[in-house]
């Protein structure tokens, strides 16, 4: 990927929150659409979709962080700080994804 150092750092830092936002939108849209169609009997389908979306989002975040760490060179200036901050933010976002997946198992679906 060619681009300025700022662009690469910006994309690395904000890739995990963008994945989380897409995940958040996807699971709530999935649940809303399937709950509005009671004839589809989606109470069994919704948890599987949410779990699959969560696993995919966590996998994407892990892949982004692993790729950033595999390309790591000797930290010069802010490069080490950006990588550590992106990794910490990625971990925080993974916790948020798990946290928003839990209600599927604790609260009745389409209640």
How confident is residue 81, by pLDDT bands cut at 50, 70 and 90? confident
Which are the contacts of 16, defined by CB distance < 8 A and separation ≥ 6? 61, 64, 65, 86, 89, 90, 92, 93
Q: Taking Cα atoms as reference points, which of 90, 110, 111, 101 lies closest to residue 27?
A: 101
Q: Please say if the pLDDT value at position 16 is more than 60.
A: yes
Of residues 36 and 68, the one with the higher pLDDT is 36
Q: Give the pLDDT confidence of 33-57 residue by residue, as tens digits.
A: 888 887 777 778 889 999 999 999 9
Whether residue 82 is predicted with pLDDT greater than 90 in this model: the reply is no
| Of 24, 25, 35, nearest in space to 109 by CA | 35
Q: Is the pLDDT of residue 70 over 80?
A: no
Name which of 56, 28, 30 is nearest 45 in CA terms.
30
What's this model's pTM, rounded to 2 decimal places?
A: 0.83
Q: Per-residue pLDDT for 80 more than 90? A: no
**Which tokens sit at 74?**
């000797």
Residue 71 CA to residue 67 CA, distance in Å, equals 6
User: Binning pLDDT at 50, 70 and 90, where does residue 96 land?
Assistant: very high
Q: What's residue 40's pLDDT? A: 72
Distance CA 66, CA 71 (A): 9
């Amino acid at each position: 990927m060619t681009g300025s150092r700022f662009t690469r750092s910006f994309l690395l830092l904000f890739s995990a929150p963008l994945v989380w936002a897409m995940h958040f939108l996807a699971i709530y849209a999935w649940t809303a659409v399937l709950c509005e169609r009671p004839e589809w009997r989606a109470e069994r389908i919704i948890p599987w979709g949410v779990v699959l979306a969560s696993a995919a989002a966590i996998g994407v975040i892990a892949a982004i962080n692993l790729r950033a760490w595999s390309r790591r060179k000797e930290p010069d200036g802010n490069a080490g700080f950006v990588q550590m901050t992106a990794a910490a933010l990625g971990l925080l976002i993974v916790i948020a994804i798990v946290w928003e997946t839990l209600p599927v198992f604790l609260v009745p679906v389409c209640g």
